[in-house]
């Protein structure tokens, strides 16, 4: 194929003899053996282990992230757990101080009996990672941009540090997406996605994925695959089929998310009722130069803002928005705001006047006008 954009649209389930332009949905949970009872080479056996729609999706995701293999899961949380599970007991993990709260909850609640400890550091400065390394450190988990304050980590520098110390690096690339960042090309061992977000793109699919390249040791890759097939947290064939559909418009959607976010960030950054805009495309962002170096095609469709005043003022602005809907998610074609402190509950470390914004692909003038009236 001449380009990645074309390959994503024209990859099909092989062999495809029906002539269908769109890859067909294969809902079957099981597949026939030959007349002698032997398994047929190249044919699936049971859908928990593999399915034509999932294989096609995993191939596309590996292609998108410049990896060699992928494993799809029923959610981003299940994908994250497959990575932590591969570490084993008595491990130490380094996490960013600004991180999706659900990642911390996994370690605190589900792996507390495994004695997996973690240290939280500000990854905007790579020196902090070197200081946090212990003899039993097995993994550095990176978010760039981070959730919800859009901190930028220097992925190449961090992966160099980890490689020298024989530590795995996993990057949650959900917010950036492979349209803007390819962590494997920057030296990471593993990439994780909540495919519910930008890869799905329509707020109608729940899923997750782990992608890796040749750098990842074979036993770690097999552990992730075992967690998928034996653990059984796999996406349904229909979810895989829907996600394959969504990837056909991925490049077009991401370009619009990006241009809309850049214009909205510029508008909000000069508004008198906004205390601060967290967006790596703004020149006053702490690590704007690193973002310019490691992100291509722009700076993404996400931002967060601090409303002047307290939590009450922030919620009042959210309630006045008409085009932006107040809901917990991101990456869909529709624009959303989310008050993270109330969404995260007791686990929240977000300040009360922060609104997270997922900029959709609507007309940008409508989005700017909506915030203008809500802030008036």
What CA–CA distance (Å, rounded) separates 243 from 125? 35
Q: Which of 100, 111, 198, 227 is catalytic?
A: 100
Q: How far apart are CA 143 and CA 150, in angstroms?
A: 9
Q: Are 86 and 223 in contact (CB under 8 A)?
A: yes
β-sheet bridge partners, residue 258? none
Handedness of CA 55, 56, 62, 66 (dihedral sign): positive
**Residue 197 appears among annotated catalytic residues:** yes
Pull the structure tokens for residue 352: 């009360």
Selecting among 197, 340, 341, 356, the annotated active-site residue is 197
For the chain, the C-alpha Rg in angstroms (whole number) is 21
Q: Are 135 and 80 in contact (CB under 8 A)?
A: no
Which candidate in 48, 220, 245, 256 is catalytic?
48
Q: Which of 44, 98, 154, 172 is catalytic?
A: 172
Other residues' Cβ atoms within 10 Å of the Cβ of residue 42: 7
For the chain, how are helix, strand and coil distributed in percent, rounded to 5?
40, 15, 45
> Is 172 among the catalytic positions?
yes
Please say whether the beta carbons of 211 and 191 come within 8 A: yes
Residues 6+ apart with CB under 8 A from 292: none
Among this protein's residues, is 308 annotated catalytic? no
Q: Does 48 participate in catalysis according to the annotation? A: yes
**Secondary structure class of 73 (helix, strand, coil):** strand
CA-CA distances (angstroms) from residue 133 to 84, 137, 164?
A: 17, 6, 12
CA atoms of 272 and 278, how far apart (whole Å):
16
Parallel, antiparallel, or unpaired: how do β-strands 137-143 and 92-96 relate? parallel
**Residue 24 tokens, joined:** 């067909």
As annotated, the active-site residues are: 48, 100, 172, 197
């Amino acid at each position: 194929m001449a380009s990645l954009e074309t390959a994503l649209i024209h990859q099909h389930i092989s062999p495809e003899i029906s002539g269908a332009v769109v890859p067909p949905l294969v809902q079957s949970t099981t597949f026939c053996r030959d007349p002698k009872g032997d398994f047929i080479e190249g044919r699936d056996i049971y859908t928990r282990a593999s399915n034509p729609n999932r294989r096609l999706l995993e191939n596309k995701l590996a292609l998108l992230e410049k990896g060699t293999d992928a494993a799809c899961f029923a959610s981003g949380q299940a994908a994250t757990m497959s990575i932590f599970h591969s570490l084993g007991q008595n491990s130490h993990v380094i996490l960013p101080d600004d991180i999706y709260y659900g990642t911390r909850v996994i370690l605190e609640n589900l792996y507390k009996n495994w004695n997996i400890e973690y240290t939280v550091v500000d990854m905007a400065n790579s020196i902090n990672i070197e200081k946090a390394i212990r003899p039993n450190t097995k993994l550095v988990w990176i978010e760039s941009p981070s959730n919800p304050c859009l901190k930028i980590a220097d992925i190449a520098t961090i992966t160099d540090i980890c490689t020298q110390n024989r530590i795995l690096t996993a990057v949650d690339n959900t917010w950036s997406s492979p349209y803007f960042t390819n962590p494997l090309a920057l030296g990471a061992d593993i990439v994780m996605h909540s495919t519910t977000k930008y890869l799905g793109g329509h707020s109608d699919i729940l899923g997750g994925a782990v992608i890796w390249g040749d750098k990842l040791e074979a036993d770690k890759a097999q552990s992730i695959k075992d967690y998928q097939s034996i653990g059984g947290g796999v996406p349904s064939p229909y979810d895989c089929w829907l996600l394959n559909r969504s990837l056909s418009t991925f490049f077009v959607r991401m370009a619009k998310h990006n241009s809309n976010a850049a214009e909205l960030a510029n508008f909000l950054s000069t508004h008198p009722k906004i205390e601060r805009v967290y967006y790596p495309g703004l020149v006053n962002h702490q690590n704007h130069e690193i973002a310019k170096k490691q992100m291509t095609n722009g700076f993404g469709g996400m931002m967060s803002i601090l409303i002047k005043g307290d939590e009450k003022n922030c919620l009042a602005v959210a309630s006045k928005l008409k085009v932006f809907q107040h809901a917990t998610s991101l990456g869909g074609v529709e624009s959303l705001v989310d008050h993270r402190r109330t969404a995260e509950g007791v686990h929240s470390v977000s300040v009360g006047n922060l609104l997270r914004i997922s900029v959709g692909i609507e007309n940008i003038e409508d989005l700017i006008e909506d915030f203008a009236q809500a802030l008036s």
